[in-house]
Structure 1
Amino acid sequence: MTLRLAFMGTPDFAAPSLTEIITAGHDVACVYTQPPRPAGRRGREMTKSPVHELAEGFGIEVRTPDSLKSEEEQARFAALELDAACVVAYGQILPPAILEAPEFGCLNLHASLLPRWRGAAPIQRAIMAGDAMTGVQIMQMAEGLDTGDILLSETARIYPFETAGSLHDRLMETGSHMWPRALAALERGGLTATPQGEDGVTYARKIEKAEARIDWTRPGEEIDRLIRGLSPFPGAWFEIETPKGKARVKALQSKYEPEESGAPGEVLDAALLVGTGEGAVRLTRLQREGRPVMDAEDFLRGAQTGKGERLL
């Protein structure tokens, strides 16, 4: 049996899921995604989301409402007469009328092991918290924030030098491959809904700009997790002194070295080992503002930031 579906998603993370659902032979009647946004260095060019571009390539109708709260938009959605809606990082809260319109409701792919890390930034928060494990789950959507019953789950290890970027890509692929299995089980009535537990609830709040600045007085292990958790975007950053004044630098990869120590922010050797409030952090991949990403050796050659210098 072929299911009649809507797909609701926006960023790169969602695009492979749409491809897998289409490849599985389901009828994707419509794709909902966020409206085109200004992009480019000066923000002048309106850019469609990755899901928007992909859906157009498949010849699927794309809708980009600013909100789904109006009766008109809800009636348009209901008129699709869907079996289900598949949701991946759509970017809007779905009103009850949307959740209830499809015969089997709305299913959401979420990048954590719920109830841990409900909310907007589960991948970043898991790394920043030092979690050893995470995963991807498909849940039955409810009115609360990521509170629905779990339908399908896959776990994933978080490696010691993992960045948010590398974990994002692994979970994106794992999650996309879950959709054909989940929808096949939905067709035959074989999906088992498991309520989330009340213990261990945490919230992955949106990353705030103020969090991204590195405070070298913090423990090195915490700084290392911050750097990796915010890499590649928005990027944890610090400043260096240059002949033209202070310049901002993003730290994109690092390694915690607990056996080393030094004054917070002081460069301790010729390979960018930096003192912290506890232990030290070796910076291995960086990006100075207005310049490409580079490894520590190339960065040092251009920035002339050597042993004894202080990072701000």
Structure 2
Amino acid sequence: MRLAFMGSPDFAVPALEALHGAGYDLVAAYCQPPRPAGRGHRLAKCAVHVAAERFGIPVRNPTRLRHNADELAYFQSLGLDVAVVAAYGLILPADFLDTPKRGCLNIHASLLPHWRGAAPIHAAILAGEAETGITIMQMDQGLDTGPILLTESVTIGSAETTATLHDRLAALGARLILRALAETPAPRPQPEPATYAPKLSRMDALIDWAAPADAIERRVRAFTPWPGTETRLEGKTLKILAVEPAEGCGDPGTVLDDRLTVACGRGTLRPTMVQRAGRAAMPTEAFLRGYKVPPGTKLG
């Protein structure tokens, strides 16, 4: 079976590794082009690019697919049976979707139709969901609207972060895509209604202390490792990496004691891991030994 793999970040790598290990004929890997990274701004290849080169799979890095006749001609020349898509980063136009004999199969990190869109793992934790999972979907031209082939759920732990859930779902997606290719399950339409997981940005990192404590706690876990959560302390950025429930009350954003306990809109939280700009992450106790934050200090 001739396959193209279309994915870019770490989430997609286990699926590529599983397909390669299962002996599928991977004739092309499509991923985002190298981009500047690090202090030196040197061009860095994405995770799928690196993995594909390790396996000797030809890599394609088009910046767009829509109205790209040359890339479409190349894609059509591959004689594909199927294309597997996992967090690729580009929208596939209809002529690309229609090229493989069995179409394009997407590995989506939610139980569709819940959390269609760009950040389904973050959204599930942020919403306080008890479970999420992987959907293998036959792609159509909508935003994650295609018929479902396979699903499998996982429980979201009470201390789960996007980092830990991401890794579990990536492994599950690798296993399910092998099943989908081997079993060719009948597609079934997605039920309604749907929920949507919007794209996140660095602007989402700032904590609103007027929110309830449980919502802020989920936000810290959901935004670990990216985009992170942060607050302003005496005009400087302080990253909040982990929190725990605490006792006390006061105006939202007010530090209540010498342990950095912070009043929220409802309830109270105590950061347990923090990071100043340009410094290493550290337990709050260690931070407070070198940086005094008196009660009454306002965070914002």
Secondary structure at the aligned position of 1:52 is classed as helix
**What does 1:75-224 align with in structure 2 at a 5 Å threshold?**
75-186=73-184, 191-199=185-193, 201-224=194-217
**What does 1:54-69 align with in structure 2 at a 5 Å threshold?**
54-69=51-66
1:232 aligned partner: 225
Residue pair 1:248, 1:289 contacting (<8 A) in 2 also = yes
Residue pair 2:252, 2:263 contacting (<8 A) in 1 also = yes
2:240 aligned partner: 251
State the shift of 1:308 in Å.
Answer: 3.9
State the shift of 1:306 in Å.
Answer: 4.6
Write the distance in 2 (CA, Å) between the matches of 1:158 and 1:76.
41
Residue pair 1:163, 1:253 contacting (<8 A) in 2 also = no
Write the distance in 2 (CA, Å) between the matches of 1:73 and 1:109.
23
The AA in structure 2 aligned to 1:278 is R
1:71 aligned partner: 69
Secondary structure at the aligned position of 1:234 is classed as coil
Secondary structure at the aligned position of 2:242 is classed as strand
Write the distance in 2 (CA, Å) between the matches of 1:306 and 1:172.
43
Write the distance in 1 (CA, Å) between the matches of 2:135 and 2:259.
41
Secondary structure at the aligned position of 2:203 is classed as helix
State the shift of 1:267 in Å.
Answer: 2.4
State the shift of 1:311 in Å.
Answer: 2.1
Identity percentage of aligned residues? 49
Residue pair 2:248, 2:256 contacting (<8 A) in 1 also = no
TM-score normalised to structure 1 length: 0.91
State the shift of 1:6 in Å.
Answer: 0.4
Residue pair 2:262, 2:270 contacting (<8 A) in 1 also = yes
Residue pair 1:15, 1:54 contacting (<8 A) in 2 also = yes
1:52 aligned partner: 49
* Number of equivalences: 299
Secondary structure at the aligned position of 2:269 is classed as strand
Q: Deviations over 1:109-151 (max 9, x none)?
A: 0011111110001111111112121111110001000001111
